[in-house]
Amino acid sequence: MELSKNDVLHVAELVRIELKADEGEKFVGELSKILNHIDELKLAKIDNIETIEQISNLENITRKDDVVKGLPIAKILQNLPESQGNFIKVKKIFE
């Protein structure tokens, strides 16, 4: 697909890119090559190809989540520099 300089300038305007005067011609060739390559990829026969989800044959190692009882609040509060009632007191970060 061959683009014109106006096509490139229009695309640049749509994506809010400011091009210098000499850049328009440069990108005509580059974008045309990219679009031609995409057209070639569209011709590839992919009807009988299975999708690949993992190319390295690695598998996720997962474990069962077991619900366990947490520490009692009193024990947690013993390790804190400050607490207020059953709450952890921290320094204010917003005014």
Q: Tell me the domain boundaries of the chain.
A: 5-42
85: left (phi over 0), alpha (psi -120 to 50) or beta: left
Quick one: pLDDT at residue 67? 92
List the structure tokens of 27. Answer: 């990108």
52-75 average pLDDT score = 85
pLDDT, tens digit, 9 for 90 and up, residues 5-59: 888 889 899 999 998 878 888 888 899 999 999 999 999 988 888 887 777 877 7
pLDDT of residue 16: 93
Task: Kindly give, in sequence order, each residue whose CB lies less than 8 Å from that of residue 3, ignoring residues fewer than 6 positions away.
Answer: 28, 31, 32, 35
Structural contact between residues 28 and 8, judged by C-beta atoms closer than 8 angstroms: yes
